[in-house]
Chain A
Amino acid sequence: MSLSQVKKGKVRIAGFAGGKNFQKKMLALGIFVGDIVEVIANNYPGPVIIAKNSLRIGIGFGMATKILVEKIS
């Protein structure tokens, strides 16, 4: 499932399907595979805002479709 499909709640980042620049950018911002993030806002098909602790990151729709996530039970 991609991040763009998550309306709200907490998910675990399972992987990045985008190119190298995209992956590096996520790393530079401090988002890693395995991190648990909360979806703050998602107006499909639009940008997604996620939260990791006190950090808020906006992700364009195109990029959000390339972030793979899994629900946490």
Chain B
Amino acid sequence: MKKVAIAGNPNSGKSTIFNNLTGLSQKTGNWPGVTVEKSEGEFTYNGEKFYVVDLPGTYGLSTFTIDEKIARDFLVKEKPDVVVIVVDSSNIERHFYLVTEILEMGHNVVIDLNMIDLAEEKGDFIDEKMLSKILKVPVVKTIANKNKGTEELKKSIYEVSKKEKNEPLKINYGRDIEEFIEFLRDKVNLPENFPERWAYLKIFSKDEEIFEFVKDKEKVDEKIDRIVKSRGFPDPETFIVEKKYGFIRGVLKECIKEKRKLWKRLEISDKIDRVITNPWVGIPLFLIFMLIIFEIVFGIGNPLADLIDRFIGFLNESLKTLFARIFPHFLTSLLTDGIISGVGSVIVFLPNIFLLFFLISFMEDSGYMARAAFVMDRFMHYIGLHGKSFIPMILGFGCNVPAILATRTLDSKKDRILTIMIIPLMSCSARLPIYILFTGAFFKKFQAPIVFSLYFTGVFLAIVVAKILSRTVFKKEESPPLIMELPPYKKPAIRWSLKLSWFRSKLFLRKAGTIIFSAVVIIWLLSSLPPGVEYASKESILGKIGSFIAPIFSPAGFGRWEIAVALLSGIVAKEVVVGTLGAIFGEQGLISSLQSIFTPLSAYAFLLMSLIYIPCVATITAIKNEAGIKYLLLTILYTFLLGWLLAVIFYQIGRFFI
């Protein structure tokens, strides 16, 4: 099977091109050893099968970010048969930098002029035949989000894959560079089949990795410095970059005809930006947008989720009566309380997640997301986070799962993992039923302030934990400097956003579904075994585990098996804590039973525990998928310890006063 790599800058529409090419055949995973997402897929054209890899979005091919290193290693070592370079045609000059880098490697390339509609709207008309003639590679125009040009792209890939290996592009860097390359020839030990000219140029730029192949490092180093100095450049990299851009400008001048509408659009865009970046307007506006997102994701999403929930409940009850006549009790319970509830607890997430994905792609597409990062950046920097981390954190109040998925908008691994790790401290709406039950039983007069104090504690802890983590676990990793291209605002393509969100939601459900489902079934099994016991009673396995671990909670004032069982089952979903307590104590006597077990002091300690301890299974799955198993374990460990510690300290200190 022929190997195709898709390369391109971030925001070039690369992933959409990848989706269009591979359709539903793709699978996602991580690149070995890192948390950068790797998408692979296949397509067939003219009977020939192609294996496609979506490389991480990069601006160039140096090695100063993980993304660039992954892309470069793939191109050099895996030697794809065809490289498709996706270019944002409305930003062609900048995006062509990567094109020249890859052409210098001598791959068989197809240049994909994507978003060609935007370029034409700007007033840029690109002569692709001329471009193809100058660069000696096929050029295809596409509009990825409307799935236009996909067939032509496939055809070009097919044709190029049949050709001989392409000659590396030769940019004229001047006589002294050519002399330098000649000078290098016998001083370098390159691995076999290594792109030579490209490697020599990287050596000239003092690329650390490639420089290792040089035999006489000192002499070469000296020579480079001499050339750079004589030409009056600060360092070799600048020299190369400027020459490349000079070449790009020259090529594009030949191929682009007139500009008209762009300036009008930029004028409007600049006016909006002047207002939005003013903190007195920008921050309130941002908060309003957040409120709207929150309202849509949860205000529209939750009633829909409730509807699904009620339907599952109805199905469950109806089937229960039906099955009771045919099957023994145990089997009926497994099929309904176990399996149907298990499936239900996965589907119930669909409305929230779909709406979230939709709004995020809507905001990114419109151009607002990039601005929002700037607006919140100064504030978020105080707590060691990125401006964009604010959005996931706010979403965490609704449900931690979409919040964790929203961290995908963050570019650096450090910011992403740090944000993921503190999201469980944002008090999600599933914890509210616990607060309501307990404040109703113990703090009738102060219900609102007590609940508020819990939300506040969560946020406060998130800030503290973020500070601590960024100074310990992530000490070595620097946040990338906040410099971003700001494309002019545009009308988002809604139909494309809908399609993309649906696709992402399905992918999430498929990935998370099995784990959530298994967890529900396991808890059900533990609560119903050995056969014949009352559900979640002291005699069940779960009850026995509860009795065993209950002493851990004695120093916090609630060391009873019922409470331990409730906390354990709460790992399935936080609101289950209330249901389990109801099942154990009986719905009627619940409040009075709680009042006989808890004092107001231990009740608040229990609330602190419920707020902080181990995230629910759905959140756990999301953390595993997005950050990896290591950070998941770290999160489970620290949330449990922190919750327990806080509950104990609060209870023990409180005892002195009450």
With contact pairs A21-B478, A30-B93, A55-B485 given, residues A47 and B122 touching in the complex (Cβ less than 8 Å): no
Binary B-proximity of A1-42 (CB < 8 A = 1, otherwise 0): 000000000000001001011101111111011000000110
With contact pairs A40-B270, A61-B378 given, residues A28 and B97 touching in the complex (Cβ less than 8 Å): yes
With contact pairs A30-B245, A32-B242, A33-B234 given, residues A58 and B481 touching in the complex (Cβ less than 8 Å): no
Instruction: Give the residues in chain B near A60, CB-CB below 8 Å.
Output: 374, 377, 387, 481-483
Asked if A59 contacts B273 (CB within 8 A), the reply is: no
Instruction: Give the residues in chain B near A15, CB-CB below 8 Å.
Output: 234
Q: Measured between alpha carbons, how far is A61 from B373 in the docked complex, in Å?
A: 12
Whose C-beta in chain B lies nearest to the C-beta of A43? B278
Instruction: Give the residues in chain B near A18, CB-CB below 8 Å.
Output: 481
Instruction: Give the residues in chain B near A63, CB-CB below 8 Å.
Output: 481-483
Shortest distance from the beta carbon of A15 to any chain B beta carbon, whole Å: 8
Please tell me the size bucket of the interface on B. Answer: 35 or more
Identify which of B94, B259, B484 gathers the most chain A CB atoms within 10 Å of its CB.
B484
Decide yes or no whether B488 CB sits under 8 A from chain A.
yes
Decide yes or no whether A54 CB sits under 8 A from chain B.
yes
Pairs A-B, 3 closest by C-beta atoms:
A60-B482, A28-B59, A47-B374
Size of A's binding interface in residues, CB under 8 A: 32
Whose C-beta in chain A lies nearest to the C-beta of B375? A47
Whose C-beta in chain A lies nearest to the C-beta of B248? A30
Asked if A27 contacts B64 (CB within 8 A), the reply is: no
Decide yes or no whether B486 CB sits under 8 A from chain A.
yes
Contact of A51 among B234, B242, B270 (CB under 8 A): B270
Instruction: Give the residues in chain A near B237, CB-CB below 8 Å.
Output: 24, 27
Instruction: Give the residues in chain A near B270, CB-CB below 8 Å.
Output: 40-41, 49, 51, 56
Whose C-beta in chain B lies nearest to the C-beta of A26? B483
Q: Measured between alpha carbons, how far is A32 from B97 in the docked complex, in Å?
A: 14
Instruction: Give the residues in chain B near A49, CB-CB below 8 Å.
Output: 270, 273, 277, 486
Asked if A47 contacts B266 (CB within 8 A), the reply is: no
Residues of B near any A CB (own CB < 8 A): 59-60, 62, 64, 91, 93-94, 97, 122, 234, 237-238, 241-242, 245, 259, 262-263, 266, 269-270, 273-274, 277-279, 370-371, 374-375, 377-378, 381, 387, 478, 480-488
Contact of A27 among B238, B273, B374, B486 (CB under 8 A): B238
Asked if A21 contacts B481 (CB within 8 A), the reply is: yes
Asked if A58 contacts B64 (CB within 8 A), the reply is: no
Asked if A47 contacts B377 (CB within 8 A), the reply is: yes
Interface Cβ pair total, 8 Å cutoff = 110
Asked if B486 contacts A56 (CB within 8 A), the reply is: yes
Overall SS of chain B's interface: helix
Whose C-beta in chain A lies nearest to the C-beta of B278? A43
Instruction: Give the residues in chain A near B241, CB-CB below 8 Å.
Output: 27, 32
Identify 15 new A-B residue pairs, CB closer than 8 A, beyond the known A27-B237, A55-B91: A24-B237, A26-B483, A40-B270, A40-B273, A43-B278, A43-B279, A51-B266, A56-B266, A56-B269, A57-B485, A58-B277, A58-B482, A60-B377, A61-B377, A62-B381
Asked if B483 contacts A59 (CB within 8 A), the reply is: yes
Shortest distance from the beta carbon of A21 to any chain B beta carbon, whole Å: 6
Asked if A30 contacts B97 (CB within 8 A), the reply is: yes
Whose C-beta in chain B lies nearest to the C-beta of A8? B274
Whose C-beta in chain A lies nearest to the C-beta of B124? A54
Q: Measured between alpha carbons, how far is A49 from B272 in the docked complex, in Å?
A: 12
With contact pairs A29-B485, A51-B270, A56-B488 given, residues A24 and B62 touching in the complex (Cβ less than 8 Å): yes
Whose C-beta in chain B lies nearest to the C-beta of A24? B64
Asked if B378 contacts A56 (CB within 8 A), the reply is: no
Q: Measured between alpha carbons, how far is A21 from B480 in the docked complex, in Å?
A: 8
Identify which of A30, A33, A57 gathers the most chain B CB atoms within 10 Å of its CB.
A30
Whose C-beta in chain B lies nearest to the C-beta of A57? B485
With contact pairs A41-B277, A61-B378 given, residues A25 and B242 touching in the complex (Cβ less than 8 Å): no
Asked if B378 contacts A43 (CB within 8 A), the reply is: no
Asked if B238 contacts A56 (CB within 8 A), the reply is: no
16 residue pairs A–B, Cβ–Cβ below 8 Å: A21-B481, A24-B237, A27-B237, A28-B60, A29-B59, A29-B94, A32-B238, A32-B242, A33-B234, A41-B277, A55-B485, A56-B485, A56-B488, A57-B485, A59-B483, A60-B483
Identify which of B60, B270, B371 gathers the most chain A CB atoms within 10 Å of its CB.
B270
Whose C-beta in chain B lies nearest to the C-beta of A45? B378
Instruction: Give the residues in chain A near B485, CB-CB below 8 Å.
Output: 29, 55-58
Instruction: Give the residues in chain A near B378, CB-CB below 8 Å.
Output: 45-46, 61
Instruction: Give the residues in chain B near A55, CB-CB below 8 Å.
Output: 91, 93-94, 485
Identify which of B59, B122, B481 gathers the most chain A CB atoms within 10 Å of its CB.
B481
Contact of B483 among A41, A43, A51, A57 (CB under 8 A): A57
Asked if A58 contacts B59 (CB within 8 A), the reply is: no
Whose C-beta in chain B lies nearest to the C-beta of A59? B483
Shortest distance from the beta carbon of A13 to any chain B beta carbon, whole Å: 12
